[in-house]
Amino acid sequence: MTDDSAFGTEPAPATENDPHHGYITDKADYLARLKRIEGQARGISRMVDEEQYCIDILTQVSALSKALERVALGLLDDHLRHCVVDAARLGGPGSEVKIKEASDAIARLVRS
């Protein structure tokens, strides 16, 4: 998991009979990253409980935010490369729904 912009593997194409999420091939990587994020959050809580220096806590909060952002961007990339592309190939109203979902997700990420 050295590539923080996306996880970098190509998921197998889904079919109508075998739908799966775009992140499925990187599920273990996502879970490992999320476990580290959980640990970071517990560490921040511990820092507050121990009344550590404000700037040190803020530094850890910033690192946690960036880690979550990397997960979100990876999931978004997987969604675009897999779910949206597959829906566009199939055509129909499903493709517009997937594009709208992606646009809405991007808007939420930009606002956060």
Model pLDDT for residues 66-110, shown as the tens digit of each residue: 999 999 999 999 999 988 998 899 888 888 999 999 999 999 999
User: Which two three-digit tokens encode residue 39?
Assistant: 């640990």
7 versus 21: the higher-pLDDT residue is 21
Given a contact cutoff of 8 angstroms between Cβ atoms, the answer to whether 63 and 18 are in contact is no
Within 13 Å, how many C-alpha atoms sit on residue 95's CB side? 8
Torsion of CA 77, 81, 82, 86, to 10 degrees: 140
Given a contact cutoff of 8 angstroms between Cβ atoms, the answer to whether 81 and 22 are in contact is yes
* pTM as predicted: 0.73
Q: Which pLDDT value is given to residue 103?
A: 94
Model pLDDT for residues 19-62, shown as the tens digit of each residue: 567 777 889 999 999 999 999 999 999 999 999 999 999 999 99
DSSP H or E run through 15: none
